[in-house]
Structure 1
Amino acid sequence: MPAALVISGGASFEGKTTIYVVISAIMAAFGGLMFGYDNGIAGGVTSMDDFLKKFFPKVYERKQKAHENNYCKYDNEFLQLFTSSLYLAALVFSFVASHVCTKYGRRLTMRLASFFFLGGALLDAFAVNLPMLIIGRIFLGAGVGFANQAVPLFLSEIAPAKIRGSLNILFQLCVTIGILVANLVNYFVAEVHPNGWRIALGLAGVPAIMLCVGSLIITETPTSLVEREMFEEGRATLMKIRDSANVDAEFDQIVHASEISRQVKNPFGKLLKRSSRPPLVIAICLQVFQQFTGINAIMFYAPVLFQTMGFKSSASLLSAVITGLVNVFSTLVSVYAVDRAGRRILLLQAAVQMFLSQGIIGILLMKDLKPTGTLGRTEAIIIVLLVCLFVMSFAWSWGPLGWLIPSETFPLQTRTAGFACAVSSNMLCTFIIAQSFLSMLCTMQAGIFFFFAAWILIMGFFALFLLPETKGVPVDDMVNRVWKQHWYWKRFMSEDDPDEDMKNSRLEMAASPSRSHS
């Protein structure tokens, strides 16, 4: 599949979209499978009576009382901590992963992620008390922090610019598949007494093993090899993944970016500079908005949420499976459209659809679901359909693009540090939602959906006015072709150092095609 890639100055990178690149991308994307499986499994497990009786007996007792407030029967800070502790750990470990990613490469970082995740799965599957359960979640969080740091960067760095969006979204596609698989597992093990929950938690080790095997097979990215001064290996890898011997232009651009990066001794300090503000603000805001759409409130607690709406246990798990299927197939829409339609149009369309879905759900619940009692059959079906419409729009927009855009917009000198800030912001917001959602549901009741709808309105205006289009732009050419051209962000791109222009000119001369690194 030919893929001539346009860069600044009118030149092009020669090469093809090779089968090797696609296979490497799929194997790396197994990191998303780990993340998605845990997202989906936690909510189902916390709705299982056997699990609640063993670790959260007060929640179990409250659940059995028919007269108890529908919106409050799952409100328990320790139950929320079971879900949210993973994301707090991921926040911390994403910064450790940034250092490992830069110094030792993307492959090793993914391998370490699989080890952490496998250890966490084993601890949770054999947990005998709440501390052991929480420690297992912390190990899982370390795995998520490492995987979410390395995988999107790996995918962006090996992909030709023309299909970078599609390949990067493989990560989010695997997240959605992981959620679907988790919902199916929850549905089938819910009636396995008393250890169905152990099976559900233990199976998290399967995607961890898949990522470990994948990390042994895939190549390191040319960018990471050059970053670590392995020039010969970097050029050979680039020739292999592009299936072309004529890679001088692309290789020299990577070397140029790497040599500028090497001048930066403190990448986190560089992120505080004025010229680093545009990609940093975009990356952090995308993570905040992604979580405050309310998607994880629905995905974490889908079975709990559907039980709150009056569904029986098995029906609530089945409804979660339906939303999981919608999630997977809608992500495929993004794989097809992101490099054709672009990033912004998907985000803007989805903001409208999500706003309407959340708002109507809130209106229906406020009208029909009282603190005691259940929804009627018709109202319940409408709620499920609206949840599916919400999940559908998120899956082809803010879900995958929240990871894609930060992975492709930072220059190399701040790429791993900047993406670590993005990952940690995502995990912090995910922790806040996971830790507070059940309490918010109890306090705000149906009003919680209006809360999320308000956030969606804000993020829609953010995407409309402040988010640049990055479709088809090489990752190492974003500053010149995106940030310096944007109506607002270009004002931040004046150099921080008056000698920066002279230094960059010297580096450009040093990295010219006449220089050999092989």
Structure 2
Amino acid sequence: MGYEEKLTQPAMKLRNFMDKFPKFHNVYMIAATSCISGMMFGIDISSMSAFLSDNSYLNYFSSPNSTMQGFITASMSLGSFFGSLASSFVSEPFGRRASLLFCAFFWVVGAAIQSSSQNRAQLIIGRIISGFGVGFGSSVAPVYGSEVSPRKVRGLIGGLFQFSVTLGILIMFYICFGLSHIDGVASFRISWGLQIVPGLLLFVGVFFLPESPRWLAKQGLWDEAETVVANTQAKGNREDPDVIIEISEIKDQIMIDENVKAFTYADLFSKKYLQRTVTAVFAQIWQQLTGMNVMMYYIVYVFKMAGFTGSTMLISSSIQYILNTVTTIPALYFMDKFGRRPVLLTGAALMMAFQYAVAGLLATYSTPIENPKPSDTVRIDIQGHKSAAKGIIACCYLFVVSFACSWGVCIWVYCAEVWGDNVSRQRGASLATSANWIFNFAIAMFTPSAFKNITWKTYIIYATFCAAMFVHVFFFFPETKGKRLEEIAQIWDEKVPAWKSASYEPAVPILSDKELRSKLSVEHREEGNDFMVNSSQSDEEKERRSLEV
């Protein structure tokens, strides 16, 4: 099918304009640029959490109570929920790069509105608009990375999205910490205004990114798809065996997809895709129900219980952000070394243990605060038990390390891989990501009230969720490490038990990379021999053989 038959006029014009710019061909540079969208999410977390106890912020916005503060914090996630659902309506017809442009545009607009906020309503609107942009980026960036990167480093490239989230948290936290020493509204206005910078970097950087080769192939643009694969995997050599293998796989999958009608969200709940949909959606839901964002958004509450105040509290909180960033790096290795399932199972077990430990220590040693103010979210403290306070803080740090090494990175990679084909991937990833954001919204709303009303029991709830996700992963999450899309699809179609999926061998064997290279080498030699034989024949012999045929 030709170029004109596949692309609309607006899509063609956008592509033609963007392709006038030179392109990155290093896959790590490509991933780093697209994952600025993940950094935006991290920046938002720090830009709000650092000011929860800041007097300038509290006085200007009339000391919002726990419910109102929960909604202010959660409004970004609400916007991201709608953005992630809308992303496929841009990504499919216009390309992955177009969605990243939308991400950058809405983020910049939202940041400008936040930095100029005159009241709570304007702040909430700005956060919703920024969140709408982040929803586009969080849905598209992991998928784009998995489609551009070679299979052998797919886990690493996909994991860079979560690493960029943690890096954004860390960078913005220290910016906010420094600016918090400014007396007055300039402290938070400058912090929120600086959020415009990564948005502009992404907006400009997108023009230097190549389009996803799988998206190009779906539009019938095979020559361009092959060029992108060759440039990103073999320095432009189209004859490289890895490039030939990759293009061959894309062609096989596209031929299957061509026989499928236009794929909709409703199709995700058909008999063929229902189990995949439930798995991917719950993978994102469980990531939120680990309780990690409780630590990220509201860590100042935990340290306030322990008796830390002012700069001491913020510095103690920052240690957690450093651990989150640094320990994300090993996860990029663990996923491809040990597999997705072992990493997720280990992370769930460790997070459960540390949250039960926090709950137990708080239940034993905390005491109610006498005569709390109606606006106070924290109603207990452990200032009289320094050893218990240190134990709680240690468990919080260890919890963050457990999350960062497992569920933080692995889920974004897993949800981009688990679908098994191209036709469902973008719609499926958008739906799964929207589930992440709506639960992010719910948790951000729930947590302040939970700290206020049930105090330490909040941690028991999240610890129990960690136990439930361990069981779910063990029985229903298949292994995707190192498997081609065709293999993953066969695991679903043949209903292979999840705990046996790592050692699964397809009923119809799929050639390994080594076997494919060997086959290609033989074919090239045979073609070369045929050419030599034909060249050595006389014109009469060639004519005779032609007549015989």
TM-score range, shorter chain: 0.7 to 0.9
Bigger mean CA deviation after superposition, 463-472 or 449-458: 463-472
Instruction: Work out whether 1:38 is the aligned partner of 2:34.
Output: no
Give the match for residue 346 of structure 2: 349
Which residue of the other structure, out of 200, 205, 210, is the alignment partner of 1:209? 200
Among 220, 225, 233, the alignment partner of 1:242 is: 233
Give the superposition deviation at 1:477.
4.1
Higher relative contact order (CA 8 A, sep 6+): 1
TM-aligned CA deviation for residue 448 of structure 1: 0.6
CA distance in 1, matches of 2:49, 2:486: 40
One-letter code aligned to 1:425: A
Alignment partner, residue 388 of structure 1? 397
Residue 180 (structure 2) aligned to one of 190, 196, 199: 190
Following the alignment from structure 1 to structure 2, what is the Cα–Cα distance between the partners of residues 143 and 304?
29
* Shift in Å, 1:374: 4.1
Q: Is residue 130 from structure 1 mapped to residue 120 from structure 2 by the alignment?
A: yes
SS in 2 for 1:45: coil
For each residue in 1:164-204, what CA deviation from the matched residue of structure 2 results, as whole angstroms up to 9, or x when unmatched? 11111000000011111122123212221112111222222
Give the C-alpha shift of residue 483 in structure 1.
5.4
CA distance in 2 between partners of 1:468 and 1:106 (Å): 27
The amino acid that maps onto 1:196 is S
Q: Which has the larger radius of gyration?
A: 2
Inter-partner Cα distance in structure 1 for 2:209 and 2:156? 18
Q: Which residue matches 1:145?
A: 135
Q: Residue 162 of structure 1 aligns with which residue?
A: 152
Residue 427 of structure 1 aligns with which residue? Answer: 437
Partner of 1:28: 34
1:167–1:483 distance in 2 versus 1, CA, 3 Å: farther
Partner residue, 1:311: 308
- In the other structure, the counterpart of 2:449 is 439
The match for 2:69 is 79
C-alpha deviation, 1:304, in angstroms: 3.0
Q: Aligned partners of 2:256 and 2:81: how far apart in 1?
A: 28
Q: Does 1:466 align with 2:456?
A: no
1:52 aligns with 2:62: no
Aligned to 1:245, the other structure's residue is in SS state coil
Task: Give the distance between the partners of 2:62 and 2:130, measured in 1 at CA.
Answer: 21
Task: Give the distance between the partners of 2:208 and 2:302, measured in 1 at CA.
Answer: 41
Paired position in structure 2 for 1:495? none
User: Where does residue 93 of structure 1 map in the other structure?
Assistant: 83
Q: 1:488 Cα deviation (Å)?
A: 6.2
Asked if residue 417 in structure 1 is aligned to residue 449 in structure 2, the reply is no
Is structure 2 residue 245 aligned with structure 1 residue 252?
no
Counterparts of 1:56 and 1:164, CA distance in 2: 48
Rounded Cα–Cα distance in structure 1 between residues aligned with 2:214 and 2:317? 40
> Residue 214 of structure 1 aligns to which amino acid in structure 2?
G
For 2:38 and 2:467, the matched residues in 1 are separated by 28
For the residues of structure 2 that align with 1:218 and 1:200, how far apart are their CA atoms? 29
* Bigger Cα displacement from structure 2, 475-484 vs 268-277: 475-484
Structure-1 separation of matches of 2:261 and 2:154? 26
Aligned partners of 2:495 and 2:229: how far apart in 1?
A: 29
Q: CA deviation at 1:433?
A: 0.2
Aligned residues: 460
Amino acid at match of 2:88: S
CA distance in 2, matches of 1:378, 1:39: 29
What letter is aligned with 1:256? D
| Counterpart for residue 358 of structure 1 | 355
Q: 1: distance between equivalents of 2:115 and 2:182?
A: 14
Q: In structure 1, what is the Cα distance between the partners aligned to 2:306 and 2:439?
A: 25
Q: Structure 1 residue 309: deviation in Å?
A: 3.2
Report the residue type matching 1:345 in the other structure. Answer: P
Specify which of 339, 362, 367 is matched with residue 364 of structure 2. 367
1:291 aligns with 288
- The match for 1:401 among 401, 407, 410 is 410
Does the CA contact (< 8 Å) of 2:332 and 2:409 recur in 1? no
After TM superposition, give the deviation of residue 474 of structure 1 in Å: 2.3
CA-CA distance at 1:482 after TM superposition = 5.9
For residues 115-138 of structure 1, the C-alpha deviation after alignment (integer angstroms, 9 at most, x for no partner) is 111111111111111111111001
CA-atom RMSD in angstroms: 2.1
Aligned amino acid, residue 438 of structure 2: L
CA–CA separation in structure 1 for the residues paired with 2:498 and 2:400? 31
Match of 2:529 in 1: none
Q: Is 2:463 the partner of 1:453?
A: yes
Match 2:485 to one of 458, 462, 475? 475
TM-score by length of 2: 0.80
CA distance in 1, matches of 2:25, 2:233: 10
User: Matched residues in 2 for 1:486 and 1:144: separation?
Assistant: 35
Shift of 1:408: 1.1
Does the CA contact (< 8 Å) of 1:304 and 1:316 recur in 2?
no
**Does the CA contact (< 8 Å) of 2:46 and 2:172 recur in 1?**
yes
- Distance verdict in 2 for CA 1:313–1:259, change over 3 Å: farther
Distance 1:326 1:483, change over 3 A: farther
Contact persistence 1:293–1:453 (CA under 8 A): yes
User: For 1:380 and 1:189, how far apart are their aligned partners in 2?
Assistant: 28
2:148/2:232 contact within 8 Å kept: yes
d(CA) in 2 for partners of 1:329, 1:305: 22
Shift of 1:485: 5.7
Correspondence for 1:180 among 161, 166, 170:
170
Quote the residue 1:224 is aligned against: 215
Shift of 1:350: 1.3
Match of residue 484 from structure 1:
494
Aligned residue type for 2:244:
D
Does the CA-based 8 Å contact 2:474-2:499 persist in structure 1?
A: no
Counterpart code for 1:383: I
Q: 1:467 to 1:488 in 2, by over 3 A?
A: closer
Aligned counterparts of 1:453 and 1:488: Cα–Cα separation in 2: 24
SS of the residue 1:217 aligns to: coil
CA offset at residue 359 of structure 1? 0.6
Q: Could you report, residue by residue, the CA deviation over 1:67-103 in whole angstroms, capped at 9, with x for unpaired residues?
A: xxxxxxxx52221111111111111121211110111
Quote how far apart the aligned CAs of 1:478 are. 1.9
Aligned partners of 2:74 and 2:441 also within 8 Å:
yes
Gaps of 5+ in 2: 1-23, 370-380, 501-519, 524-549
Amino acid at match of 1:357: F
